[in-house]
Amino acid sequence: MQQFALSASFLQRAGLTVFFAVILSSFLAWPSYSSLIYHIIQTLLFIVVMLIFVFEWRRLSHWRCLFSLGNKRAGTLLYGTGVQASNISLSKKAFICPLVCIIFLQVSKSGEQRLLLVWSDMLDDTAYRDLCRLLLSHQ
């Protein structure tokens, strides 16, 4: 069984920034009205989106994950500290490219489907290659 310690990365933060940039650009498409209530609603929505972005950025800064995977398509997933480890298995074929691995997981107890994005800069080069090889061997 191989373990991979994941933490927040530059590419993960860049993805979050691009996502919120697309959402914030939608404010440019709003028509211009001279109504005060319309401008108040638009301003409040903009502030709410910015607050959500700041909250998610801070949450992402503290994000940690310990992921282990064995030879039988099964392993464990642990988010944060002091949280119970979840027994998981690979549910679908993983998408692997040089920038990101998209891993489809299923929690053993509840049957819940999860998606784990592993960006290439979350791990050192050797560990990222080992993860890719391990995922390719399970396909």
* Average pLDDT for 97-111: 90
Whether the pLDDT of residue 78 is over 90: the answer is: no
Q: What percent of the chain has pLDDT over 70?
A: 96
Same domain, 52 and 107: no
Same domain, 92 and 46: no
Same domain, 112 and 72: yes
* Average pLDDT for 43-64: 92
Report residue 125 as tokens: 């080069």
Find out whether 127 and 9 touch, Cβ atoms under 8 Å.
no
Q: 88-100, pLDDT tens digit by residue?
A: 888 889 999 999 9
Find out whether 112 and 106 touch, Cβ atoms under 8 Å.
yes
Enclosing domain of residue 14: 10-61
Q: How many domains does the chain have?
A: 2
Distances in Å between the alpha carbon of 51 and those of 39, 46, 98?
18, 9, 33
Determine the 3-state secondary structure of 91 from DSSP. Answer: coil
Whether the pLDDT of residue 80 is over 80: the answer is: no
